[in-house]
A and B are shown apart, each in its own frame.
Chain A
Amino acid sequence: MSRSPARRRAAGAVLGALLATSLVGVTAAALYLRARNAGEQALAEAPARTYARHLAAAMVGSGAGHDQVQEVVQQIRRDGRNVVHASVVVEPRSTKYRFLRKRRYLAHTERSRVRQALDPRRAGDKEIYDLANRVRHKGRIVETRAPQGKPFEVIAAEPVRLGGRHVGMALVVTRPRVIAPGVPAWPLGLGIALVIVLALFAGAFTRQRYLVVMAAVVCFALYARSHLGQLEAFYVTTIENQAAGIGTDVAGRPPALPGWPLMATTAIALAICLLGQIRVGERVAGALRSHHVAYLYLLPAAAGMLVLVFVPFGYGLGLGFFNHAHGSYTYVGLSNFAEILSGGGRPLSHPLNFYFTLGVTVLWTGFNVLLHVVIGLALALVLKDPLLRFKGVYRVLLILPWAVPNYITALIWKGMFHHQYGAVNHVLELFGIEKISWFSHFSTAFAANLVTNTWLGFPFMMVVCLGALQSIPRDVYEAADVDGASRWQAFWDITLPLLRPALFPAIILGTIWTFNMFNIIYLVSAGAPGGSTDILITEAYRWAFERADRYGLAAAYALIILVILLTYTLVTNRMTKATEDTYS
């Protein structure tokens, strides 16, 4: 790592520029999204809020004459295209409006829902009762909710007061077309902090790089002042217009974020860096010129990897911060990760809790690799004997499971574990054991997966061990024998240490394969019972393709898997290096 000072300076400048640009970009994009989402939310909630207030006012103003209220409801129904429910709910204990006691719902936009709601046995009635209680205690309620499998709804409830007494509430439920959930502010802070920390550790904040960052921040501040202010003004005026008279069409889009301020900032940042370090471009060009043949050979593969590995990876990285519902994406910050890492509000024993799945995955990987190594090593030790006859035949037959495509293996074993016709249950019956319904309990389903994958995986370990055993010189054993070592001692003190350099990489590889062994889990137990035998990778798959297309959550899962595997590889890599240093 002996770099020339000029080169180090150049690298520092490029890094500084990149950091400054990303700082500006991330901040601007996040703030813009936040402002826009908040505006959208307010815009979506506005009709319901306005209608509810209007309804309540009508009730108070009219002295709660039945016809007047009915008229207002009809009016709301006429102009509010997205209103699904508008009603007045009167407290039963209100003595003044006796006639309301019997019919708590004065009017409704959907006839069938009136009937439903009037029936106290229906779930909707309890919901409204709870809402009425909350309104009595807390006052006005405006909230957004997304019931399972239904579109978003905005509920606005306005308390109705007569002569200082709470008599009921006006309730309006609308179903706006799109609602952007709010964006939490803390990921933004975290992101900025991260960039700054990175910059500090990278040594990017030295002299002119400081200027670059300062310039970027100033540009951003000016930008935010003008455009975010405009954005806010847009929402305020739209909502005010809408509230001014019922029936105003409020469907409008917020102004788009103009791209030039960001581009200008980036250009300034880059210009400052390049003015300081003109040689950067020269260096890149020089590298390209002097090594152009190498890069040419690398180009096809690099292009392929870029398009089909790195772009999808970057896409997935981005997707992890969005929520996908009904074909549209909403920025949700880190909430996908928060949902996964907090267990999604499910108890630890719930199969969909991340930590449960992680535990199953670790258990699955550990048991499998252990069994692969033990069986593979035992067979290799037996087959190693040079005097053993037919060892070639045994070897060829024993690696058959490795040759069979693994989805076919999985399906074969799924059949073998069939409750009624499966060979495994048949064998059990021969021994007088009752048939087991393999996929209806966690332990047996897990065991079925484990058996399948052990069958599939031991040949690889056996072959690796055989190869490594053959490379151990025989005279080491002879020397040990002369020295009076027992067979056990020879195994423990000679064979195992000498196997380690070959076995370690195989174990690492095997662990990664098993950790991601999608086909076995997906095809043998299919997660049964109730998704409890799912491992992380099948869980991610199910979120994306089998449970309401939650691409964002699945992408976040994939990222977490990547992080786990990368950490594992780095740690074990260091360990292997350590063992290699010790044993070679």
Chain B
Amino acid sequence: MSANCGSSRLRRSGVKHRNCGSSRLRRSGVKHRNSSASRLLVHLVLITFTGLTLLPVALVVRKAITPGQEFELTLNPIPSRVTLDHFRHVVGASLPDGTWLFGRQLLNSLLAALGTTVLGVFLACTAAYAFSRFRFPGRRFGLLTFLVVQMFPATLLMIPLYIILSRLGLLSNILGLVLVYSTTAIPFCVWMLKGYFDTIPRELEEAALIDGASRLRIFYGIILPLARPAIAVTALFCFMTAWNEYILAATFLGRETSYTLPVLIKSYVGEYGSTQWGSFAAGAIIVSIPVVALFYALQKNLVAGLTAGGVKG
């Protein structure tokens, strides 16, 4: 309808120029062919903008491989001297009693992320299947609830969660974090998976039902294998949610040995000038590489999921 409306308005304005329409067309064609200069300009603008966008990342990479803990005052991203000391310092961090601190924190992060992935995918798959395949009282309400919950981050529930987790004895415990992370990730995952399940034809299930397969068998024998791409994205989303989360971890985790990596990395950036930028840069790179790689591997699906969820709201 908008196209109609727009073009009708255009047509109205076009009436005036109708007699010179053909010459205009020719002129615009010329413009297209003759635009190497303007294209160069476009490239220049794009290169500048991309350069500006990449500069902070480049500076961090440079800092990570140059000696010294302070930022250098130059914008040249190519380091003058190269060292891996910062990486060695970050990875080799250990407590006086010989505990390998970085190893513990990496393990915590991995446990939190993988736990969230497993739990989140399981919960989201079953719930999305129910929403996609069954019509039951409360379905609409349930879907709406998941949509609304998706809009409010766990930070808002932090105080009650803090109190509840401390009552349950799950503060400073990775299990507590896993529970919180998976519930924050579920609503988005449910919406995304439901959208994907909806596209799987029902006929497949009906055929299987006639052949005598049980509901459960259909779910894990037909639906889950067919939805593999969507489940991969869900898993990634859960993983990233848990891997990248800082403030809940910083608030809930008390002991250094129970920290996750984000808390460690923040601890390198002190409040009053005691910042170890070199260690921070090295840590940031170590933590970012897996998620950035995963993100690039699945970014197209993520975007589709995000916008689909949004449009339906």
Number of interface residues, chain A, beta carbon within 8 A:
106
Contact B122–A300 (Cβ < 8 Å): yes
Residue of B nearest to A293 (CB): B215
Give the interface segment out of B67-75, B90-98, B224-232.
B67-75
Contact A573–B244 (Cβ < 8 Å): no
Residues of B within 8 Å of A215, CB to CB, are none
CB distance from A453 to the nearest CB of B (A): 13
Contact B164–A312 (Cβ < 8 Å): yes
A545 within 8 A of B: yes
For chain A residues 557-578, which have a beta carbon within 8 Å of chain B? 558, 561-562, 565-566, 569, 573, 576
Residue of A nearest to B42 (CB): A382
CA distance A219 to B190 in the complex (A): 46
A408 within 8 A of B: yes
Residues of A within 8 Å of B39, CB to CB, are 387-388
Contact A422–B161 (Cβ < 8 Å): no
Give the interface segment out of A52-60, A75-83, A518-526.
A518-526
CB distance from A111 to the nearest CB of B (A): 40
Residues of A within 8 Å of B145, CB to CB, are 305
CA distance A519 to B250 in the complex (A): 12
Say which size band chain B's interface belongs to.
35 or more
CB distance from B307 to the nearest CB of A (A): 6
For chain A residues 301-349, which have a beta carbon within 8 Å of chain B? 301-302, 304-305, 307-309, 311-313, 315-316, 319
CA distance A397 to B11 in the complex (A): 40
Contact A573–B313 (Cβ < 8 Å): yes
5 new A-B contacts, CB < 8 A, other than A407-B262, A427-B75, are A294-B134, A305-B146, A382-B45, A402-B299, A519-B246
For chain B residues 113-150, which have a beta carbon within 8 Å of chain A? 119, 122-124, 126-127, 129-131, 133-134, 136-137, 139, 142, 145-146, 148-149
CA distance A583 to B2 in the complex (A): 5
Interface residues of chain A, those whose CB is within 8 Å of chain B, are 287, 291, 293-295, 297-298, 300-302, 304-305, 307-309, 311-313, 315-316, 319, 379, 382-383, 385, 387-390, 394, 396-409, 411-416, 418, 421-423, 426-427, 455, 460, 463-464, 467, 476, 479-485, 489, 493-494, 497-498, 500-502, 505-506, 508-509, 512, 516, 518-519, 522-523, 537, 540-541, 544-545, 551, 554-555, 558, 561-562, 565-566, 569, 573, 576, 582-584
Residues of B within 8 Å of A413, CB to CB, are 56
For chain B residues 204-249, which have a beta carbon within 8 Å of chain A? 215, 219, 243-244, 246-247
Contact partner of B71 (CB less than 8 A), chosen from A302, A423, A502, is A423
Contact B163–A551 (Cβ < 8 Å): yes
Contact B71–A379 (Cβ < 8 Å): no
| 24 A-B contact pairs sorted by A residue (CB < 8 Å) | A301-B126, A301-B190, A305-B146, A307-B179, A308-B161, A308-B180, A319-B159, A382-B42, A394-B50, A397-B54, A400-B53, A405-B262, A412-B284, A427-B75, A479-B7, A481-B24, A483-B11, A493-B9, A498-B3, A516-B156, A554-B159, A558-B157, A561-B156, A569-B151
Known A415-B277, A506-B307; contact A396-B296, beta-carbon cutoff 8 A: yes
Contact B14–A484 (Cβ < 8 Å): yes
Residues of A within 8 Å of B129, CB to CB, are 297
CB distance from A205 to the nearest CB of B (A): 25
CA distance A501 to B60 in the complex (A): 38
Interface residues of chain B, those whose CB is within 8 Å of chain A, are 1-3, 5-7, 9-11, 13-14, 16-18, 20-21, 24-25, 28, 39, 42-43, 45-46, 49-50, 53-57, 59-60, 70-75, 119, 122-124, 126-127, 129-131, 133-134, 136-137, 139, 142, 145-146, 148-149, 151-153, 155-164, 179-180, 182-183, 186, 190, 215, 219, 243-244, 246-247, 251, 262, 265-266, 269, 275, 277, 280, 284, 287-288, 291-292, 295-296, 299, 303-304, 306-307, 310-311, 313
Contact A551–B287 (Cβ < 8 Å): no
CA distance A506 to B310 in the complex (A): 7
Contact partner of B306 (CB less than 8 A), chosen from A476, A484, A509, A558, is A509
Contact A418–B71 (Cβ < 8 Å): yes
Residues of A within 8 Å of B157, CB to CB, are 309, 312-313, 316, 558
Residues of A within 8 Å of B28, CB to CB, are 481
CA distance A467 to B305 in the complex (A): 12
Residue of A nearest to B280 (CB): A411
Contact A297–B151 (Cβ < 8 Å): no
Contact A301–B123 (Cβ < 8 Å): yes
CB distance from A369 to the nearest CB of B (A): 14
CB distance from A415 to the nearest CB of B (A): 6
CA distance A309 to B163 in the complex (A): 13
Residue of B nearest to A452 (CB): B56
Residues of B within 8 Å of A315, CB to CB, are 160, 163-164
Contact A304–B123 (Cβ < 8 Å): yes
Residue of A nearest to B292 (CB): A403
Contact partner of A544 (CB less than 8 A), chosen from B60, B133, B158, B180, is B158
Residues of A within 8 Å of B287, CB to CB, are 405, 408
Q: Which of A467, A519, A522 has the most CB of B within 10 A?
A: A519
Contact A565–B152 (Cβ < 8 Å): yes
Residue of A nearest to B7 (CB): A479
CA distance A401 to B296 in the complex (A): 12
CB distance from A529 to the nearest CB of B (A): 15
Known A411-B269, A426-B73, A505-B310; contact A287-B303, beta-carbon cutoff 8 A: no
CB distance from A500 to the nearest CB of B (A): 8
Q: Which of A293, A408, A479 has the most CB of B within 10 A?
A: A408
Residues of B within 8 Å of A502, CB to CB, are 307, 311
Residues of A within 8 Å of B11, CB to CB, are 483
- 3 nearest interchain CB pairs? A505-B310, A483-B14, A294-B134
Contact A309–B14 (Cβ < 8 Å): no
Contact A379–B49 (Cβ < 8 Å): yes
